[in-house]
Each structure stands twice: as structure tokens, then as C-alpha cells.
Amino acid sequence: MLRTPAILTNLLIVLVTTATIADDWPQWRGPSRDGVWRETGIIDQFPSEQLALSWRVPISSGYSGPTVAAGRVYVTDRLVEPRQVERILCFDAQSGTMLWSHEYDCEYSISYEAGPRASVSVDHGVAYALGAMGHLHSLDAKTGKVLWKKDLNADYKIRMPIWGIAASPLIYDDHIILQIGGSGNSCIIALDKKTGAERWSALDDRACYSAPILVQQNSHDVVVCWTGDSVAGIDPSQGKVHWRIPWAPRNMPIGISTPIVKGNQVFMTSFYDGSLMLKLSETDLTAKKEWQRVGRDEKNTDALQSIISTPLFVEDHLYGVDSYGELRCLDPDSGDRIWEDQTATPRARWSNIHFVTNANRVWMFNEVGELIIATLSPQGFHEISRAQLIDPTLAQLRQRNGVCWAHPAFANRHIFVRNDKELVCANLASE
């Protein structure tokens, strides 16, 4: 089962009344890093086809989704004039006022140069930001003061993935756990979150782009890391590799979506390499392949071959977006397809949806900037309401008329989302 990381402690702002619960979104995919939005007091449907904005502020390009903690919104972007820099930005969550920014020189030698990929992780008043070329900053979350910084590319001689460093930092106790693809058994590293000193390193794999997650296996904390060559379960305190399942890519390391967990099942999906379901032992720290399925090519897929979108479990079934935007329901025990629907996002190569569950509903942010409220069941996709939230822009992908590929944040009954030109906020409270 997925374990709530230490990042939640002292950062999860819980306001309990007779009617509502509100909380923050301090890291990738939310407080528990599982794509679950636990707030109450949320609207049932949209009042119009265009969602009204509480505020909007200009930013530059980037793939990183915003995060929200203690009344502040964090996001990263990139400027190329007068020189190439990456920026870490902090805004007031209520007004959109910029509170601070930090920029640093960063020349790109990667493809898809729109900007940083990894969401900022915020823990105990400190923001940790990882850039596309491996620059890691620890900053005072309130003031933006740099506490320490690392050039991980210089320190670890990263075998740089073609799309750069993308996996958002995972905070575990006093560790920052990162996937960087460093040389010499340093694909996965853990640093001391107070000093940046190395605590451990593991795996001689190439990096992919998937964020590590923390699970409970046989009463132990285990970090599940999907790399460019395998899926591994690692002791987050010491770096011991408990188990490793090889998963060599057909073409190149391309794994982007985050592993998802239900019970003792761990599921991953890759654009070229199909679906992989692992089963974690309940009696020791081992794992085995339950099933694996892959189609003939990217258009003739089998179970699920996602590119960016992280799938989700809803009750006893698995849902995700296939290679050309096909929304699918799968039997998690076999990978058999139960249904397919093409109405949630346009049909296009790499067409994307970010899923977040809230109570018995699924909130879906698609790549054309629409927000959809829906239910998913073995009987099909049931759309409840849809509204335009933000316009797609061109910097992230120029092969079609723009995309919105950054994951939104859901916090304090609002949604925060960015494109390549602006960061916006909309109120989703029911009253």
C-alpha cells in the first residue's frame, strides 16, 4: 500500500468543520503523492463552459506542475533572453502576487527545451527544486533564501536522458530521494535534506522520468523506483535494493508516468513498452512480475501504453489514457481491456489527461486545457461537467496547436494550473 511520506507532516493544513476539509498540495500528485484530492466542500458541476479565474499571473515556459503549501504557490520556468536561466517562483495563493523568485544560469543540452520538468517539493518550511539539467536548490519556502545548492550533473556525471531530469524529489524523513541517472551506481540517490550531503546511492541503471513513490511492504517502508532499465524496491533509509525487476526499453528509456499502487499490486505504463504489473510479496521484501503486455507498435497497443498521464485505480479497476488519447478501463488482474472512449481528450499522439480523484468522482485535466468532472466504472466514462480552464500554448509541443501538459494542483478548494505563458487559479468551492 502507498505510504504517506514525511513531507505531509507539518505541511498538511487540515481545517476540519462540520462540513468541509481543506488542505495543501505540497508535492507532486498531492499531499500523499497518490493523486487523491481529499478536500470536501467542492462544486458538483461547473456554472458555465468557461471557468472564472480568481487570478492570473504571467510566467514563462515549463512542464512542472505547481505545488501549494502554507498559502504559497511554487512553480519553475525558463527564460532564454538575455541568457538561459531557470527560475523558481513563489506566489501568494490568494492574490497571485509574486512573493519571491530565484534564477540561475542553466544552458540546456536536451530535447524539448520548454523548461524545468519536476514539481517543487515543500517540507517543513523548505522548498526543494530540481531543474532539467540537474541543478538542485534548497530554499527557505517563505523568503526564497538559498540554504544550499548542488550541481548534480557535475557531482555525479549524469548520463543525461534525452529530455533531461524530470522526476520530482521525494522527501523521506531527513532524506531527499532523487532519480538522476548518475554514473557509478548513482541512478537513485538520497541526500541529507539539511545539508545536501550524500546519504546513499543505488542502481547502475539509466534514468527515466518517473517520480519515485513510497509504499509499505511487509511492514517496511520501501521506495519504488522505475528507472530506464528496471523497477526496484529500495530501503529509503540505507539504499539497500530489496528487489529489482528488469524492464529494458525497446527503443530508449521513456517512462514518465508515476507507478500506482493498490494493495500489493504496482502498475506502470510506457508509450513504447506497454504495461507492467508487479505483485509485492506480503511475507518478505520481494516482488515478481504478475503480467506484462505490449502491442505491436504505438498505434496497435494492447493493455495501456501511456506517455505522460499517470493512470489510476478506482475501486477494483484500472483506468488510463493510451498512446493516442484513448481513455481505457482495464482488468488489473490480467490487463484485459473492458472499454475504450475517445471523448475525454482529442485524438493525437501523446494526447494527455491528468487524473485526480475526489470522493467518488474523478477530475480530469486534459491537454487542451479543459477540466472535466466525471465518474469512471466498468460500465464506462460518465461525464458530469466540462469547462475550459486555460488555453493550450506552443512551447511544450509545436507539432499541433499547443498543449497543456503540466499537472494542476488542487488545494484549499481551488485549482492552480500553468501553461507556457501564465499561472492561473480558479475557485472550486461549493459556497
pLDDT digit string, tens, across residues 419-428: 999 999 999 9
Indicate whether 73 belongs to any domain.
Answer: yes
The rounded mean pLDDT for the chain is: 95
Is the residue at 87 inside a domain?
Answer: yes
**DSSP-based three-state secondary structure for 195:** coil
Q: What is the mean pLDDT of residues 278-286?
A: 98
Is residue 311 situated within a structural domain? Answer: yes
Domain for residue 1, yes or no?
no
Q: How far apart are CA 60 and CA 421, in angstroms?
A: 5
Banded model confidence at residue 94, pLDDT cuts 50, 70, 90: very high
Split into its structural domains, the chain has a count of 1
pLDDT over threshold 90, residue 6 = no
Please indicate, yes or no, if residue 357 is contained in any of the structural domains: yes
Of the pLDDT bands very low, low, confident and very high (cuts 50, 70, 90), residue 193 is: very high
pLDDT band at 403 (very low <50, low <70, confident <90, very high): very high
CA-CA-CA-CA torsion sign (159, 163, 165, 168): negative
**Is residue 153 classed as helix, strand or coil in its secondary structure?**
helix
Domain assignment present for 85: yes
247 contact partners, CB below 8 Å, separation of at least 6: 226, 229, 230, 231, 268, 273, 276
Nearest Cα neighbor of 285 from 237, 232, 248 is 232
The three-state secondary structure class of 154 is helix
**CATH number for the domain that contains residue 150:** 2.130.10.10
CA distance 86 to 76: 7
Residue 400 has a pLDDT of 87
User: Quick one: what percent of the chain has pLDDT higher than 70?
Assistant: 96
Give domain status of residue 45, yes or no.
yes
Q: Predicted confidence band at 19 (pLDDT cuts at 50, 70, 90)?
A: very low
Please check the confidence at residue 101 and state whether its pLDDT lies above 90: yes
Q: In the structure, what pLDDT confidence band is assigned to residue 20 with cuts at 50, 70 and 90?
A: low
Tell whether 89 is covered by a domain. yes
Give the model's pLDDT for residue 5. Answer: 61
| Structural domain boundaries enclosing 62 | 6-427
| Per-residue pLDDT at 11 | 44
C-alpha cell at 37: 484530492
pTM: 0.95
Residue 358 bridge partners (DSSP):
361
Mean pLDDT over 317-338 rounds to 98
CA 218 to chain centre: 26
